[in-house]
Amino acid sequence: MVRFVLAAGVALLIFLGHSVAIPVVSDPTTTVFSAEATVPPDVPHTDVTSHGPYDGPSPTTTGALSTDVLAASIPALPPGPEAYSYPSDGQLHAPEPAPYTPAGGQGTNGSAPVYRVLSDFDYESIALGLYQEWIELDLFHWGLATFSDKDFEDAGLTAQDRYLIQFMAEQEVGHATLLSNILGGSAPKQCTYNYPVSNVREYVDFCQKLTRFGESGVYGFLNHLDSRPVGQLLLQSISTEARQQMIFRQFQGLFPMPVWFEVGTPQSWAWTLLAPYISSCPENQTRLIWQNYPSVYILNQPNPVRINGADVRNETTGGHANSLSTAGVPADQDCLNSDEVGVRCAPAVTNNRSTPLSYPGRQVFLRWDSQLNVTYSPLEEVRDNSGWTVQPNMSTYAGDPAVNGTMYLILTDEDLYVTPFNLTQVNPHVYGVAAKCPLRTSKWPVYVTKSSV
C-alpha cells in the first residue's frame, strides 16, 4: 500500500507491506488556495508591424558585423584524442557521484546554472534565433489581420484553426521575451516585414517553410553553444516551434511528418532564408555576423496545391523560401477541389498524396541537406546563372527516403565531406542557398541571383 503524506508542500510516499482497495464516492472540493506568483512582463512588441518593401532613405549601415578575421576558413582536423576512449559496453566505468547517477555529463556537478551567453558564438546564435521569433510573432498576427474569416474558410480552415494560429503568435511572445532577457538590453528589436503571399494558401505555405528553416537553424547550433543552460531553454522553445511547423503542413493537407530526422543547418543559411523578408529595423539595431548568400530559385519547385504538384514551371513567389504561388492554377487542377482520396489536399490530421511531389531521378555541385544526409549532385548545362541537376536516390536508413519534407539546396564549388555536427565547414564553398519542398520529379532547374547582405 502506498500512503501519501503532504509535508511542506511535497507529496511523500510511504510504502506499506500490503494494500486494500476501498472505493469511496466523493465530490472534489478545492481546499487549498495560493497567492498568485509574480509574473515577469512580456518584451515590448507590436502584434502587426507595417508591411511592404522598404522605400525609405538609404540605410546608414549595411553588411555583416565583423572584427579581426584570423583565417579564411577553419581547417578540418581529425577527432580529438578522447573521441574513442569510452568503451560503450553497457557497464559503469567510474564511481557514481550520487545514487542512481552515472559519472559524466555537462552541468551535472551541482553548480547553479546561469542563463546568460558566454561567447560571441552564443550571442550571435541566440540573436539570430530572436530575429526568427520576431518575424514569426508578426507573421502569425499579420495573417489573421490581413485575411478574412471567409478567406480562411475557403481554404478549409475553421475558427478553431484560426485560434490555433493566434495561440502560436502568443507562444512567440514568450519565445521573444525569453531570448531578449537572455541577451539583455542590446537584444535585437522587432523589425518591419514584407511577405511574398497574396492569399491564405500562399500564407500557410510560407508559414510552413519559415518555421521549418527557423527550426533547422537552431538545431544546427544548439549543441555548439558554450552556455549549456541557455541551450536548455532554447531547446524547450524550439520544440514548440517544431509542433507549429507540423501543424502548418496539416493545414496544407500535406503529410505532417514525412522524415525520420530533422536537418540542422548553419546559422548563415538560416539568415540567408530569413533576411530577405525584413523590410527595415529600428535605428541602432543590433546586427549579426552571419553571411547572406545569393538566392537559389527552383524553377520547377513542386506546387502542393496542384493535383500533379510536380508538373510545374515557375510557380513560386520568388527565391529563398521558394514558397508556392496559386496564380495560374486552374480550378480543375486544384487539389482542394477534388473529392478523391489521395488527391484532395484539404486541411487534415494526415494526408498521403497518391501522386508524389518529387522522386529520385528528377533532373559547381548542388548539395542536398536532409535529415542526417549530405549528398552532392553535379549542376549540368550551366549558363546565364542557371542550370539543372538530378535529384539523387538516397535513404537515411532502409525504409526512410532522405529527400522528403523541406530540403535545403546549397550551391557549392566543392563536394566537401561534412556531417550533421560540422556542416559549417562547407560555408566557404557556398554560392547560393534555397529551401524547397520536394513533392517528386527528375530534373531540377535552378537559377542563382545576387543577394545583398
* pLDDT (tens digit per residue) in 151-173: 999 999 999 999 999 999 999 99
Judged by average pLDDT, the poorest of 2-6, 225-229, 242-246 is 2-6
In terms of pLDDT, which residue wins out, 410 or 185?
185
In terms of pLDDT, which residue wins out, 265 or 47?
265
pLDDT digits (tens, 9 = 90+) for 291-349: 998 888 887 788 989 988 877 788 888 778 888 999 989 999 999 999 898 888 899 99
Asked whether residue 438 carries a pLDDT value surpassing 50, the answer given is: no
Mean pLDDT of the region 415-434: 82
In terms of pLDDT, which residue wins out, 233 or 309?
233
Average pLDDT, the chain: 83
Nearest to 210 by CA among 278, 160, 310: 278
Sign of CA dihedral 431, 435, 441, 447: negative
Work out the number of other CB atoms within 10 angstroms of the CB of residue 208: 26
pLDDT digits (tens, 9 = 90+) for 33-53: 777 778 889 998 988 877 888
Mean pLDDT of the region 391-398: 67
- Predicted local confidence at residue 439, as pLDDT: 40
Helices 159-183 and 120-146, axial angle in degrees (round to 10)? 150
pLDDT digits (tens, 9 = 90+) for 343-376: 888 999 988 776 666 555 554 344 455 556 677 7
- Predicted local confidence at residue 204, as pLDDT: 97
- Predicted local confidence at residue 337, as pLDDT: 92
Asked whether residue 237 carries a pLDDT value surpassing 60, the answer given is: yes
Within 13 Å and on the Cβ side, how many CA atoms surround 235? Answer: 10
Q: Express as a percent the part of the chain with pLDDT over 70.
A: 81
Asked whether residue 118 carries a pLDDT value surpassing 90, the answer given is: yes
* pTM greater than the 0.85 cutoff: no
Nearest to 405 by CA among 373, 433, 365: 373
Give the Cα separation of 131 and 115 in Å (integer): 19
Kindly list the structural domains of the chain, giving each domain's residue range(s) and its CATH number in brackets, ordered by start: 120-280 (1.20.1260.10), 295-449 (no CATH)
- Predicted local confidence at residue 402, as pLDDT: 54
By the 10 Å C-beta count (0-12 exposed, 13-18 middle, 19+ buried), 36 is classed as exposed
Residues 6+ apart with CB under 8 A from 205: 197, 248, 252, 304, 323, 324
**What DSSP designation does 4 have?**
E
- Predicted local confidence at residue 239, as pLDDT: 95
- Predicted local confidence at residue 449, as pLDDT: 47
Give strand pairing partners of 101.
Answer: 98
- Predicted local confidence at residue 451, as pLDDT: 38
Work out the number of other CB atoms within 10 angstroms of the CB of residue 360: 17
